[in-house]
Amino acid sequence: MTPLVRVRGLRKSFGSHVVLDDVDLDVHEGEVAVLLGPSGAGKSTLLRCVNHLERPDAGFVQVGGEVIGYRHSRRRLYELPARAITRQRAQIGMVFQQFNLFPHLTVLENIVEGPVATGRLSRRDAAGQARELLERVGLGGREQAYPRQLSGGQQQRVAIARALAMQPRLMLFDEPTSALDPELVGEVLGVMKDLAATGMTMIVVTHEIGFAREVADTVVFLDGGRIVESGPPADVLDNPRHDRARAFLSAVL
């Protein structure tokens, strides 16, 4: 079966600093891949390449068989027209460490905005969908609140609902609980776990090893821009072969 996400030979440098070095990754439909690794390993850059926020120097990312952001010819990658990139990115939801909600909009308006602005749904349908999504993330009844009136955990759950409002086929999470007080981490991981159980394909950067163990199909350990281990959580978490992975895991466990 063709993977939903296929990364091949991905390279990215900033100046002379090689940040991603020949990265290959497959994520099949309905799978959850957890990316682990020390700060500076290239985890965010990899997610950003998958979502076309960053342009790779070589290699490519395919989502659903389509090369993200580029058209291949034998020799070169050609940038796609902006409209095609927008269409591709609409299939991918992303949740960041900082929730990035619009502060001047209510919770409901935050979630309604995307599908209305892109013409996917009428305002009425988008509002109905937003109410369902808020129920799903445990925030039914908070439609009229403003982000500042919510806890960090609640804001992050709104951010997840907002990403889901675009009906993505792939969800990317970049350290979604790293900015939260410890007592709020569980409620966000719980929503992510429920989402995984619905069959959503997800790539999650996190240091939450318990989540990786319980939810991931594949754990990928990235260090210095290279994938040094990848496999089922039991293999990578309990029997890491690489010294760097072993050291990292003993520090975070």
Q: Which helix (H) or strand (E) holds 221?
A: strand 218-223
Q: What is the spatial distance between Cα 8 and Cα 227, in angstroms, rounded to a whole number? A: 12
Q: How far is the CB of 40 from ligand ADP (least distance, A)?
A: 4
User: Which of 99, 248 has the CB closer to ligand ADP?
Assistant: 248
Tell me which of 14, 122, 151, 232 binds ligand ADP, using CB under 6 A. 14
Closest CA to 47 of 171, 141, 153, 157: 171
The span of 22-30, 39-47, 70-78, 149-157 binding ligand ADP (CB under 6 A) equals 39-47
User: Which of 40, 140 has the CB closer to ligand ADP?
Assistant: 40
Residues 37-66 that bind Mg ion (CB under 5 A): 43-44
Our measurement of the distance from residue 208's CA atom to the centroid of its chain's CA atoms, rounded to an integer in Å, reads: 15
- Asked if residue 41 binds ligand ADP (CB under 6 A), the reply is yes
**Two tokens at 163?**
């990403």
The span of 33-41, 114-122, 149-157, 159-167 binding ligand ADP (CB under 6 A) equals 33-41
Q: Considering CB distances under 5 to 8 angstroms, the limit depending on partner class, which of Mg ion, ligand ADP, none binds residue 230?
A: none
Contact string 55-84 vs ligand ADP (x = CB under 6 A): ------------------------------
Q: What is the spatial distance between Cα 48 and Cα 61, in angstroms, rounded to a whole number? A: 11
The span of 43-51, 150-158, 193-201, 236-244 binding ligand ADP (CB under 6 A) equals 43-51
Q: List C-alpha distances in Å: 80 to 49, 91, 153, 220, 240.
A: 15, 16, 37, 30, 40
Our measurement of the distance from residue 48's CA atom to the centroid of its chain's CA atoms, rounded to an integer in Å, reads: 9
Q: How far is the CB of 239 from Mg ion (least distance, A)?
A: 26
Q: How far is the CB of 43 from ligand ADP (least distance, A)?
A: 3
Burial class (CB in 10 A: 0-12, 13-18, 19+), 65: exposed
Q: What is the spatial distance between Cα 207 and Cα 37, in angstroms, rounded to a whole number? A: 8
- Asked if residue 50 binds ligand ADP (CB under 6 A), the reply is no
- Asked if residue 37 binds ligand ADP (CB under 6 A), the reply is yes
User: Which of 44, 218 has the CB closer to ligand ADP?
Assistant: 44
> Where does the chain have alpha helices with state H?
43-50, 82-89, 107-117, 123-136, 152-164, 182-197, 209-215, 233-238, 243-252
- Asked if residue 252 binds ligand ADP (CB under 6 A), the reply is no
Residues within the interface to Mg ion (CB under 5 A): 43-44
Which residues are near ligand ADP by CB under 6 A?
Answer: 14, 19, 37, 39-45
